[in-house]
Amino acid sequence: MTDEGQATEAAAANGGGTIDPSQVDANELAKNMAQATDEQLAELMSGPMRDQILGEIFRRMSEHFRADAAGDTDAVIHWQIGGGPDGGTSDFETVIRNGGCEVHEGFQSDAARVTFKIGGADFLRLVTGNAAGPMLFMSGKLKIEGDMMFAASAASLFTIPKG
């Protein structure tokens, strides 16, 4: 395991205070997520690092956006990530418009083209390429509201790290 992998594992084990998520390489994170158990990921996503982890993932979403694949796509995507420490969700919004991608914490628009509802551990697996959206949907771990055809192609708008 790399130093980053050990740091990520140590942070999960000790309550999370030892790493800066912005310093973790996306591909390295994907490898670490592949090795983690669902229980470890659920614990990580209900602990003190949850907000930092989600904030960093959504911050990087704009960096991983593929404007070439988006074309003239105009869409608002709502994300409801469950499994928080209080049993609630963390809400994020992705706005794809004019060849760009903006991300907001919370919902700034009431009208989303699609809403994804997913637990924290499954979300980590999804965004690190360690779980397929269609399989999560078919197993009931990913709930989708809105434009199902757009939902099926949304992942192609982003470069997904490979573990």
Give the model's confidence band at 1: pLDDT under 50 very low, under 70 low, under 90 confident, else very high: very low
pLDDT for 11 beyond 70: no
- Give me the mean pLDDT over the 89-110 stretch: 95
Sign of CA dihedral 121, 124, 129, 133: positive
Q: Tell me: pLDDT of 60 over 80.
A: yes
Read off the amino acid at residue 48.
P
CA angle 157/162/163 to nearest 5° reads: 150
3-state secondary structure 60-113: HHCCCECHHHHCCCCEEEEEEEECCCCCCCEEEEEEEECCEEEEEECCCCCCCC
Contact in structure between 163 and 33 (CB atoms under 8 Å): yes
Query: What local confidence, expressed as pLDDT, does residue 9 receive?
Result: 46
pTM: predicted TM-score of the whole model, two decimal places: 0.82
pLDDT at 32: 75
* pLDDT greater than 50 at residue 50: yes
d(CA 161, CA 33): 11
Q: pLDDT at position 96, please? A: 97
pLDDT band at 18, cuts 50/70/90?
Answer: low
User: Is residue 163's pLDDT more than 80?
Assistant: no
Residues sharing a CB contact under 8 Å with residue 107, sequence separation 6 or more, in sequence order: 78, 91, 93
Q: Do residues 7 and 18 lie in contact, with contact meaning Cβ atoms separated by under 8 Å? A: yes
d(CA 1, CA 93): 34
All structural domains of the chain: 1-163 (3.30.1050.10)
